[in-house]
Amino acid sequence: MADRSGKFAGEDPFEIARAWLAEAEKAEPNDPNAIALSTVDTDGMPNARMVLLKEIEAEAFVFYTNYQSAKAAELDQAGKAAFVMHWKSLRRQIRVRGHIEKEDGPQADAYYSSRSLKSRLGAWASAQSQPLSSRASLVAEVARVTAEQGTSPARPPFWGGYRIRPTEIEFWADGAFRLHDRFRWRRHSEESTWEISRLNP
């Protein structure tokens, strides 16, 4: 579009997203890669939580979690999800909607291996989203897992990644007098050409 310039310029929304994230990494004090991930359960009841985005690929966004968690159950049954990434320091946000697929192979192994040892052991110890009797019992489970797994634990079979392949990406930037700038990239499938529209604030 003729008026899509400056921070909105580009022919690839994933490149724009990477550029915005790179700027946020210099400005945000904590977790510039945090996203508010939204899912729905089998009754259609929505759910949201913060997770950390770990990669912006050529055609997708990737994060990792416990496959036995509530979010994973909702992702698996719906096959779709949405997230918003908001940077208060930049007064910008990115909204994404799309289809889900698991990343349960070498890429997940490599990311798991890059985490701190305590985080890797914590992934083994936590039955994410399940009731917990006390923090002491969790600490005891971490100790048990540490003795069992040692200092080089393999990735748990119940832990890995999800990839969101978007059909819609919206870039939003704060504007004076709440006249914000919004550009929506939309496509029907991954093979389709992106359609770009400026939206009213």
Active-site residues, by number, are 178
SS (H, E, C) 17-56: HHHHHHHHHHHCCCCCCEEEEEEECCCCCEEEEEEEEEEE
Specify whether the CB–CB gap between 181 and 197 falls below 8 A.
no
β-strands 80-87, 159-173 pairing: unpaired
Q: Give 140's contacts (C-beta < 8 A, 6+ positions apart).
A: none
- Which two tokens mark 110? 């490599």
Closest CA to 61 of 120, 25, 17, 1: 17
Phi then psi for residue 18, to 5 deg, are -65, -40
Rg (C-alpha) for the chain, rounded Å, is 19
Residue with the two structure tokens 């697929």: 101
